[in-house]
Amino acid sequence: MATSPNENNTALKPEVAKPKLPPMFKVLLLNDDYTPMEFVVETIERFFNKDREQATQIMLKVHTEGMGVCGVYPQDIAETKMTQVLMHAKEYQHPLQCTIEPA
C-alpha cells in the first residue's frame, strides 16, 4: 500500500510562539542599626526609580520588619542593582546590606 505523506506523523507541528519569560528575582534591602533613614530613602529613589513617598514606605517596611522588596527584575538586572546599592553604601561607609532571591 502506498504510504501517505507523513504517515508516521513526523512532520513538524506548526510552531506556536511561546515567549519565555525570564526567571525573576527580588532585590531586598536588609535593616541595620546604623545606616541613616535618609540615606536608605535616597538609595531606593536612585536605584529603583521610586518617588519619595514610595521609597519612604519601603524604607519604613525594612526598618520595622527587617527586610523589604525594592523591585523585581530579571536576574542580570537584579544582580546589577544589588551591586550598585552595595557599592554606593560602601562609598559612604554605611553597613547597608542588599541581596537577591528568586521571586
Q: Which residues bind ligand TYC (CB under 6 A)?
A: 29-33, 35-37, 40, 59, 62-63, 96
In sequence order, the 6+-apart residues with CB closer than 8 A to the CB of 85 are 27, 29, 43, 47, 96, 98
Q: Which is nearer to ligand TYC, 30 or 77 (CB)?
A: 30
> What are residue 98's phi and psi, to 5 degrees?
-140, 140
Q: Which is nearer to ligand TYC, 24 or 99 (CB)?
A: 99
CB of 86 to ligand TYC, least distance (A): 12
CB of 89 to ligand TYC, least distance (A): 9
CA distance 57 to 14: 49
Q: Which is nearer to ligand TYC, 27 or 73 (CB)?
A: 27
CB of 22 to ligand TYC, least distance (A): 26
* 70 within 8 A of 82, measured Cβ to Cβ: no
| First vs last C-alpha separation in the chain | 57
Q: Which is nearer to ligand TYC, 37 or 72 (CB)?
A: 37
